[in-house]
Amino acid sequence: MLEIEKSLAGAGISIKDTKLNSSIKIGKALMLGLLYLGFGISCSKTSISRNPYISNVRFDYQVNLNLPQYDDLRFVGGSAYVYQAGLKGILIFNLNGRNFLAWEATCPNHIPRECSRLEINGVLAECSCEGYQYSLANGQLLNPDNDGNNPYPMINYRVEVFDSFLYLSN
C-alpha cells in the first residue's frame, strides 16, 4: 500500500485525490441513475394518461368575440360552442375574463358515437349517453363510475387571446 502511495505521490496524485475522484464518479452515476428513473416514470405516466378513445386532430380556428353567437363568452363563467373545429366541436369557457379554456366536445370516456357530443349546462359539460358531467373550469369528470373505469378528463386545446379574438389550435 505504501509503495502504491509513493508511486502515486511521484506522479503528483494523492490518495485523497483518488478518493475524491471516486466519490465524484459515484455521485455522477447516482445522478444519472435518478435522471433515468425519473425519465422512465414520466414516460410511463404519459402513456397511462393517454386517452385511448379520442384521436388527435389538428386544427387552427379563430373566434371573433364581437360576433353575437359568442356573447356569453364576454363574461366570467360564460361559455360557447364552436362547431367548426375539433372532433365534435369545441366548448370554450371564460375562466376569469382574461383566460379562456377550450375543450373537445366529444365525451372523453367513450369512442365517439351519436350521443356522445357534450352539451353545455351552466359551468358543466354533459353527455347524454350515460349522463357524465365534466367541469368546464378544469375538465374533470364529476360523477365517475364506482368501478373507476372511466377516469378521463375532457381533452384540452390551446387558446391564445389577442384583443377580441381567440385563436384555438391543436
Return residues touching ligand FES (CB under 6 A). 107, 109-110, 116, 127, 129-130, 132
Cβ 129 vs Cβ 116: under 8 Å: yes
Closest separation in Å from C-beta 121 to ligand FES: 14
138, 125 Cβ separation under 8 angstroms: no
Q: Which amino acid type is present at position 147?
A: D
CB nearer to ligand FES: pick between 79 and 109: 109
**Closest approach of ligand FES to the CB of residue 158, in Å:** 24
Comparison of 63 and 127: residue with beta carbon closer to ligand FES:
127
CB contact set of 28 (below 8 Å; sequence gap of 6+): none
Minimum CB–partner distance for residue 53 and ligand FES (Å):
9
Grid coordinates belonging to 93: 369557457
Nearer to ligand FES, 25 or 113 (CB): 113
> Least distance (Å) from ligand FES to the CB of residue 103?
13
In the bound state with ligand FES, the residue whose beta carbon lies nearer, of 8 and 110, is 110
* Nearest approach, Cβ of residue 28 and ligand FES (Å): 50
**Of the two residues 72 and 126, which places its CB atom closer to ligand FES in the complex?**
126
CB atoms within 10 A of CB 62: 13
